[in-house]
Amino acid sequence: MEINKADIVEDKAYEFIRWNLDSSNSTEELISDLESQLYKFNREKDKLKYLTVVSQYVQEESEKHAKECKNPATCGTSKTHRETTFFINQMLEEYGVGINNDEVFTSEERYENNRKLDDLLQEIEKLRMGQEIIYDDLIKEIEELKNLYFIGKKNWYQNLAGKSLEMVASGVVSETVSKKLISIAGITFNKLIQG
């Protein structure tokens, strides 16, 4: 059985969120604890994933709180959210990822992209008879995309576009699959041109 490392990283990030976000006495303590957790990971990809999960959670909580906060300028919770976001973004920049809020995938966007990729995987399953090796590689590539949301929208869409074009150009995928990939990539190219 293959263990999905991305799931372990995500699980550890949510564990950190549960135990540390509300119980920290200060932003400095929270960031110190976060930095300590990052030392447990050797790969930068895992550190980025971990930071992004925490960052997205803080952003979502900040947005929820902002809807009901009467005075965000003096509110302690709002201040903690702003400071935490600032320091996490600094950490992300240290790893070469300058993700602003527009670059982070929302839950809805991740869900919608995963739904499209799952639809594509179902089509691939139907076509895979007799070409298992080629389609196994294709399935692996598409599943990998589901674990790369932490790299930000622009990089994710570039990755999707590259994989799509590579598979279509090399003739690895059938006409049916290539149309689906081009359809998803078409949205990608529009986003890349605009972004």
pLDDT digits (tens, 9 = 90+) for 114-127: 888 888 777 777 66
Residue 112 has pLDDT above 80, yes or no: yes
Which pLDDT value is given to residue 1?
A: 37
Interval 60-68 mean pLDDT: 87
Interval 54-59 mean pLDDT: 85
Measured CA to CA, the distance from residue 49 to residue 47 in angstroms comes to 5
Which pLDDT value is given to residue 170?
A: 66
Pick from 59, 55, 39, 62: nearest CA to 88:
55
Pick from 125, 136, 127, 190: nearest CA to 160:
190
Interval 91-113 mean pLDDT: 72
Pick from 29, 38, 78: nearest CA to 58:
78
Which pLDDT value is given to residue 128?
A: 62
Measured CA to CA, the distance from residue 179 to residue 168 in angstroms comes to 9
Which pLDDT value is given to residue 89?
A: 82
Residue 20 has pLDDT above 60, yes or no: yes
